[in-house]
Structure 1
């Protein structure tokens, strides 16, 4: 496991608490939360080419609250790992307990971290479980999640500004071509919206015809 995008996750072998083949992993997440497990779960989707063979997803917990997500196939972590693991079940899920000291170093890997409720929403599609998980998370974890949301909004706005700049450049280029082709006035909106001249001033002289004036 030596991908460039994320640091390699190294965690000690834990004590097996639960091993099941399940259709969805919400029950395992709920059990970890209720028992305030510090440790990790391995998640192996059974019917996916991406995670075939011995490949596993790993989710770590601190007092039952998910901290890290890691995909051992792609070496991706965090939200990217969750997206790759969010495939239809069944899954083989194993839950292990580890001493808190055993995960201390791993939990410093910021690139692998996920918001407290993200695993429940992304892998179990369980908003209620996500809310319970966030309620159990320490304040600093919630602050991290809020900061991540702010960063995502900022990135979106930056992209929006970039799109606006591209559109403005396209307008400028179109106007330049119009001037070159002698149709600049049409783009400036000097003609009516339907492209026709004013019926009251058919010759463009600025003098209205008597018929048109009487109709008005």
Structure 2
């Protein structure tokens, strides 16, 4: 499940804020492969994809954890072994197209006690077009009224079909 990529760096760091800051500055499109930096730690690695330096999705490649669940699988404290890899947006599409894999762009930075970085990551994150279209729909009273009228007409037709017209509330 880890996309093909070109290794940019492999380091052991005390805080995940360091590689996140580097990815943000470089506007890296690729991924971080994060695992415990302790030699005998028994934890699966977590892959966090980046779009222009912003965390977008997360998975545990050998497990079934995705999104926030994958981030929860990260060790609580460092050191961390982190590999940074560059790849194309199309190579990441299979993860970015799966809503279950999506993560809050600032969640890892917050976990690394870097709230200013978390705010910058969220600010740079692209807007989710599905969120905007739903919000636009809900903010349009004419569309809501049309939807209610359509539902009322369908309910009336079904009631007539089933012989329950007398049971309908006409208000």
TM-score under structure 2 length normalisation: 0.69
Tell whether 2:92 aligns with 1:103. yes
Cα distance change of structure 1 residues 49 and 75 upon mapping to structure 2, 3 Å threshold: farther
Q: Are the equivalent residues in 2 in contact too, given 1:15–1:96 (CA < 8 A)?
A: yes
Query: RMSD of the alignment, in Å?
Result: 2.3
Match of 1:43 in 2: 34
- Helix, strand or coil for the counterpart of 2:32? strand
Q: Per chain length, whose mean CA-contact separation is higher, i.e. which structure has more relative contact order (CA < 8 Å, sep 6+)?
A: 2
Tell whether 2:6 aligns with 1:15. yes
Cα distance in 2 for residues equivalent to 1:49 and 1:76? 18
Match of 1:136 in 2: 124
Match of 1:61 in 2: 50
Q: Are the equivalent residues in 2 in contact too, given 1:77–1:112 (CA < 8 A)?
A: yes
> Which aligned runs of 4 or more in structure 1 are off by greater than 6 angstroms?
none
- Helix, strand or coil for the counterpart of 1:60? strand
**Matched pairs, number:** 132
Match of 2:163 in 1: none
Tell whether 2:28 aligns with 1:29. no
Give ranges in structure 1 of 5+ residues lacking alignment.
1-9, 148-216
Query: 1:86: how far off?
Result: 4.0
User: 1:1-216 counterparts in 2 under 5 A?
Assistant: 10-47=1-38, 49-51=41-43, 55-122=44-111, 124-140=112-128, 143=131
Query: 1:115: how far off?
Result: 1.2
What per-residue deviation string (whole Å, max 9, x for no partner) do you get for residues 140-162 of structure 1?
A: 28x58xx9xxxxxxxxxxxxxxx
Largest Rg, 1 or 2: 1
Give ranges in structure 2 of 5+ residues lacking alignment.
136-171
